[in-house]
């Protein structure tokens, strides 16, 4: 809930203006004073007169109310204005996050809640703008923007680069985060290393058991054909040579087979010898043109 100012009318003689009248009178007296000592006396008298008018300034907004129902108080108007600028000025109406300036609020709306910008991001466009308002560069991801800010604009590495996403983190939230980290159990490095080695051994054993259950198929088919590419048992390496050796021994022990083979070779040679030869015609003589030298 944001603060909504309302118009209130006071009379000029109302006590509401007493503190301001004293401060204004002291200002003019200090301006017309002849030396620094007189100005110091005027300031002391003005502080004494306005002491009775000093009242506590509190933030009445629901976001600043304490669990017990008490309100957050400030010693001066300047402190209250600083609080209001930091906690209530730039607030996202969608997620109620607070941002340090309107520029970061606009970045948050564009990168988180703007549907058109999110569609541009899905198409691969650069939507993440640089944090420096005078820089017009855009980037594909927050990581690239972070590297640009560190390299080109010399931002410290401890800067909260997730500011457009998370907004301002209050002191109470920071304290809660520190308590959560303090309550987190510390991990012993030796036990962590032993647990890691045990997990690795279990993974190796599981992989070995899975590999032992694998089987090689008897046939492999390619494409849409039903006939397998390889079927049956593969011949042994020495079976081909053994078959050639058996044929050679059978040929040496069978003279009939040798004689038939010789007859077949002779018939082949005889057929080649009885083939009629092609007759060649007479060689053509080259015509020699005689040139009469006398003519």
**Residue 89 bridge partners (DSSP):** none
Structure tokens at 262: 């010789």
Q: Among candidates 113, 117, 119, 102, which has minimal Cα distance to 165?
A: 113
Residue 151: its pLDDT value, please? 93
Q: For the whole prediction, is pTM greater than 0.85?
A: no
Structure tokens at 27: 């200002």
Positive or negative CA dihedral for 98, 100, 105, 107? negative
Of residues 11 and 242, the one with the higher pLDDT is 11
Judge whether residue 41 has pLDDT over 60. yes
Structure tokens at 42: 């005027």
pLDDT digits (tens, 9 = 90+) for 109-123: 999 999 998 999 899
Of residues 151 and 68, the one with the higher pLDDT is 151
- Cα 262 from Cα 150, distance rounded (Å): 95
Judge whether residue 39 has pLDDT over 80. yes
Question: 69-73, 113-117, 235-239: which range is least confident on average?
Answer: 235-239
E-strand spans in 8-106? 57-59, 72-74
- Cα 80 from Cα 56, distance rounded (Å): 10
Of residues 157 and 79, the one with the higher pLDDT is 157
Domain positions in the chain are: 17-54, 56-89, 94-182
57 class by beta-carbon count within 10 Å (0-12 exposed, 13-18 middle, 19+ buried): middle
pLDDT digits (tens, 9 = 90+) for 186-228: 545 555 555 555 566 666 667 677 666 666 666 666 655 555 5
């Amino acid at each position: 809930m944001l603060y909504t100012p309302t118009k209130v009318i006071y009379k000029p003689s109302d006590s509401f203006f007493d503190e301001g009248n004293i401060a204004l009178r002291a200002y003019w007296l200090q301006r017309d004073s002849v030396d620094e000592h007189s100005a110091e006396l005027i300031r002391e008298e003005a502080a004494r007169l306005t002491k009775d008018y000093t009242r506590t300034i509190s933030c009445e907004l629901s976001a600043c109310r304490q669990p017990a129902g008490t309100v957050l108080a400030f010693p001066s108007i300047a402190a209250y204005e600083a609080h209001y600028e930091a906690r209530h000025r730039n607030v996202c109406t969608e997620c109620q996050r607070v941002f340090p300036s309107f520029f970061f609020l606009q970045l948050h709306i564009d990168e988180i809640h703007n549907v058109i910008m999110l569609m541009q991001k899905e198409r691969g466009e650069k939507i993440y703008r640089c944090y420096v308002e005078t820089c017009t560069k855009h980037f594909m991801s927050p990581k690239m923007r972070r590297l640009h800010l560190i390299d080109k604009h010399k931002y410290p590495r401890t800067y909260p680069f997730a500011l457009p996403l998370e907004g301002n983190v209050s002191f109470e939230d920071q304290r809660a985060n520190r308590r959560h980290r303090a309550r987190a159990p510390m991990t012993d490095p030796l036990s962590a290393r032993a647990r890691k080695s045990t997990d690795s051994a279990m993974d190796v054993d599981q992989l070995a058991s899975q590999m032992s259950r694998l089987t090689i198929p008897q046939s492999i088919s390619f494409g849409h054909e039903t006939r397998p590419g390889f079927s049956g048992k593969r011949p042994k390496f020495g079976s081909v040579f053994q078959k050639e050796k058996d044929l050679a021994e059978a040929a040496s022990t069978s003279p009939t087979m040798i004689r038939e083979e010789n007859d077949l070779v002779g018939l082949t040679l005889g057929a080649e010898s009885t083939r009629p030869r092609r007759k060649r015609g007479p060689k053509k003589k080259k015509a020699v043109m005689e040139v009469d030298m006398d003519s």
